[in-house]
Structure formats: structure tokens, C-alpha cells
Amino acid sequence: MGQAHAESFPNGPIKIVTSVGAHVAEGNRGSILHLAGEWLRSATGTKFTMLHYTGGAKALPDILGGRVQADIDALASMRGAIDGG
């Protein structure tokens, strides 16, 4: 797997993974979040592997454990982890 690289938007917490070999978590195949991830990949030319989970809660251990470099999910799903640091 390639080295992950993320770029922050100026003055913001949002990051986009721009490396080959990065893994991006996404819940519920065919959902609006899945389509947003596919749009991100197409619009930016980014190459990453989309990992489909059956909801954000199931992806959380892999995100926090560093096995997934990014997540496309609703803020509410990640609020506890964000607030917890």
C-alpha cells in the first residue's frame, strides 16, 4: 500500500486523501455518502480504495485504529469520537 497523504483546506479541519493505496471508509453501498465518495474520486482524479461498511459505527474501530485513512460519513455518526479527541 502506498503512503497516505492528506491536504487540509485553509483554516479548516477537512482533509482529502490524495494518495494511491489509501483506504476510505464509507457506509451503506449505494447511499448518498457512497455516491459522494465516487464523485470525490472522479472530480479530483484521486485513486483510493473505497471500503464499504454497513454503517459508520462499524467503520469507527478501523478509522480510530489507523487501518483506514479517511471516512465519508455524516458528522453525527462521528461526533463522539471527534468530541473525545
Name the residue type at position 29.
R
CA–CA dist 66, 29 (Å, integer): 22
- For residue 4, give every residue at least 6 positions away whose Cβ sits within 8 Å of its Cβ, in sequence order, or none: 17, 19, 21, 22, 69
DSSP conformation class of 48: E
Domain extent at residue 53: 6-75
Say what the pTM is: 0.62
CA–CA dist 37, 82 (Å, integer): 21
* Average pLDDT rounded to a whole number, residues 73-78: 76
Contact of 49 with 24, CB cutoff 8 Å: yes
The residue among 52 and 4 whose pLDDT is bigger is 52
- Classify residue 85: in a domain, yes or no: no
Here the CATH number for the domain that contains residue 65 is: 3.40.190.10
Residue linked to cell 457506509: 27
For residue range 10-66, what is the model confidence (pLDDT) as tens digits? 555 555 555 557 888 887 788 888 888 888 888 888 788 888 888 778 888 888 888
